[in-house]
Amino acid sequence: MNPAERIAALRAEIRRHEDLYYLQQAPEIADAEFDALMRELDRLEREHPDLVTVDSPTQRVGGRPVEGFETVAHAAPMLSLDNAYSEEELRAFDDRVRRGLAAAGPVEYVAELKIDGLGIALTYENGALVRGATRGDGTFGEDVTSNVRVIRAIPLSITAGLPGRLEIRGEVYLPRRAFERINREREANEEPLFANPRNAAAGAMRNLDPRQVARRGLSAFVYEMVPSGPAAAAPSRHADMLHQLQAWRLPVEPHWRVCSGIDELLAFTHDWDEARQALDFDTDGVVVKVNDRAARDRLGATSKFPRWAVAFKFPAQQATTLLKTIAVNVGRTGAVTPFAVLEPVKLGGSTISLATLHNEQEVARRDIRERDTVIVEKGGDVIPKIVAPILSKRPDDSTPWRMPRTCPACQSDLRREAEEVVWRCMNASCPAKLQRGLMHFASRRAMNIEGLGESLARQLVESGLVRSYADLYHLKDDPQRLIDLERMGRKSAATLLDQIDRSRGSELWRLVYGIGIRHVGERGAQALAASFASMEDIERAPVEALETIRDIGPVVARSIRAFFDEPRNVEVVRALNEAGVNMTGTPSSPVTHGPLTGKTLVLTGTLAAMTREEAEAAIAARGGKVSGSVSRKTSYLVAGADAGSKLEKARALGVPVLTEDEFKALIMKA
């Protein structure tokens, strides 16, 4: 089999497995096997760049970050839906529809689960995905094509040769498993937790770096098509349109149903109000649509809503319980945060015994006290929250809660900086800080020491086996002490020691991230490792040098400098170095003398001969900079098809505008 044939076979196989995973929920291979297919395809395409196509699965990989999103117009307004909050309101909707259609018998509806996500409009031209845009205000949205392309549930092309232009409407959402993973990572990093998957999905789609979006693990469902020509005319029934979308390999939520009349519709809503907890995505209701499109046209729309559809909202999931006490948790940087310990109560298919309280000021603002009877809610939120205390049930001797002034783990005094709301334990030897720090150091995004979780970290600290990160690398000196720990054993200890030993060779950025410099996340750690050759160089860097690095602003730069100005932190790094942990990296070399050096280019619209990522890479390879917004400092605006508001602004400012052919000539000459 020659390279072209193997590439074609790999693409077909990968697409088949994507269909099985995202559309049929019936995967045949493990993630590792899928990744191996992707790696082979990526290698072959790098060896044979002339065989790369825009719809290849490898082209989902996120490109360079952009600096802003462009405003684009939708093919037709994305109207909101009116809401129905009860059976009576849903029956009233059915009455209005039957009166509008002068229907004596039951009306046929399509009922679809309402995805609690972010509205999206996908534009396909001659079968190829050319644009993804947010709902925005319904008439105009933001062009988030680079982010949409990394969502594996969305195909880069649909039925080969499909003529014309087609806009597909849908929802981008975050699966619950991905949401839980992200919040575990954020908790380990002491970052604010997302309240619900919808907030996390919306935040991801607003991220300017597609690589970060890809890591979130977003998915999507589609539910509507808006043709722009007769070749792609929509079927006459909504149910047939959903079947057509599925035939094009587009992800349609599979539990929709055709319902004849209001009674079948109500049965559907009742069934799913009870069963929705079993799904891997959040649904906050049922969308009800008249099935027949001709009937829809007769019903029409108001200035805000179509008269032929309504969103039935499930009631919020609430319960009443006793707040037994307010406790505090100590994080790896010493941040001390309160949480509520509740009398266990069943809510939304699970038992709730804890709820977040964020910080001392939030507790005081909402006047939440120990021994209060409180209303807890999940609603669209996966993390339980306290809605309010029931004041009529408050004990007479109740007093406002006060933040403790000493650390619960080491009894050191807590301190709060003037500009912050968070109290912190400043004791460098605090066992709670060390335990959380160990968990972060060993986490998948840091040194990736599999098997070192919360329970083991606690035992290692409490037993005195580990007093600093470097002690992990000396556990092999006396493995019996590790074997003697609870639920460890000889085999588990050997596996853990292998994992620890392997982590010595981790990339520099993982170590930078793992040692827990405040405000330095994964991207910041990668930026530091790309800018300095070693940990020693980072340690010596002045604030002024740190501030020049992308993703490192003044606050982060000062935090890095403060970290290395602390002798204990320097000693931690020295001990890791002596334990054989890798301290060097391979800094990237920016182009300083390229033919486009000093030039700033802005891209707008759709390029026919290359993806936006390929255009950005070509500019960067020649020393140029890509910006997301037009200003008087812009050297050129490159305008592809369907150029939006950036083109108008460039003309108003007198910025030179290049067609795609002129841009190709420029980079070829360069």
Segment 169-187 mean pLDDT: 88
Confidence of residue 613 (pLDDT cuts 50, 70, 90): low
What is the share, in percent, of the chain residues with pLDDT greater than 70? Answer: 90
Q: What is the structure's pLDDT at 30?
A: 62
Q: How far is CA 155 from CA 46, 55, 98, 367, 644, in A?
A: 22, 8, 38, 50, 24
For residue 424, what pLDDT is reported? Answer: 92
Assess whether pLDDT exceeds 60 at residue 447: yes
Burial class (CB in 10 A: 0-12, 13-18, 19+), 476: middle
Number of neighbours of residue 186 by Cβ within 10 angstroms: 15
Mean pLDDT of 199-206: 85
CA pair distance 222, 271, nearest whole angstrom: 22
- Judge if pTM exceeds 0.75: no
Stated as kind and residue range, the H or E segment containing 621 is helix 612-621
* DSSP string computed for 486-542: TT-HHHHHHHHHHHHHHHTT--HHHHHHHTT-TT--HHHHHHHHHH-SBHHHHHH--
Domain 508-578 belongs to what topology? DNA polymerase; domain 1 (1.10.150)
Give 551's DSSP letter: T
Query: Looking at the predicted structure, is the pLDDT value of residue 258 above 50?
Result: yes
To the nearest whole number, what is the mean pLDDT of the chain?
86
pLDDT value at 159 more than 80: no
pLDDT tens digits for 56-93? 887 664 444 445 678 888 888 888 888 898 899 999 99
Do 431-503 and 508-578 fold alike per CATH?
A: yes
Judged by average pLDDT, the poorest of 191-195, 509-513, 598-602 is 191-195
Q: Where are the beta strands (DSSP E) in 406-485?
A: 414-415, 423-425
Assess whether pLDDT exceeds 80 at residue 20.
no
Q: Which CATH code fits 3-52?
A: 1.10.287.610
Residue 115 scores a pLDDT above 90 = yes
Phi-psi region of 300 (alpha: psi -120 to 50; beta: other; left: phi over 0): left
Q: Which sequence spans correspond to the domains of the chain? A: 3-52, 83-313, 318-415, 431-503, 508-578, 600-669
Q: Residue 387 has what DSSP assignment?
A: E
pLDDT at 654 over 70: yes
Q: What is the pLDDT of residue 316?
A: 73
What does the block give as tokens for 360? 């001392």
The confidence band for 591, taking pLDDT boundaries of 50, 70 and 90, is low
Give the pLDDT score at 585.
86
Whole-number percent of the chain with pLDDT over 90? 48
**Choice between 186 and 441, residue whose per-residue pLDDT is larger:** 441
Question: Given pLDDT bands bounded at 50, 70 and 90, which one contains residue 8?
Answer: confident
Q: Which residue has the tokens 């947010």?
A: 134
Separation of alpha carbons 423 and 415, rounded Å: 5
Q: Averaged over 28-46, what is the pLDDT?
A: 75
pLDDT above 70 for 21: no
Checking if the pLDDT of 169 tops 50, the result is yes
Q: Is the separation of the CB atoms in 154 and 122 below 8 Å?
A: yes
Residues with a known catalytic role:
114
The per-residue pLDDT for range 267-285, each reduced to its tens digit, is: 999 999 888 888 889 898 9
Kindly report the CATH class assigned to 318-415.
mainly beta
| pLDDT score for 374 | 95
**What does the DSSP assignment read for 467-480?**
SSGGGGGGGGGSHH
Architecture of domain 83-313: 2-Layer Sandwich (3.30)
- The two structure tokens encoding residue 362: 């939030």
Under DSSP, the state recorded for 58 is G
Position 44 confidence tier, pLDDT thresholds 50, 70, 90: confident
CATH 1.10.150.20 is held by the domain 431-503: yes
Domain 600-669 has CATH 3.40.50.10190: yes
**pLDDT tens, 527-549?**
899 888 899 999 999 998 888 78
Top pLDDT among 550 and 51 is at 51
Q: Backbone phi, then psi, for 369, in 5-degree steps?
A: -130, 160
Q: How confident is the model at residue 390 (pLDDT cuts 50, 70, 90)?
A: very high
With residue 96 as reference, give the H or E element that holds it. Answer: helix 87-101
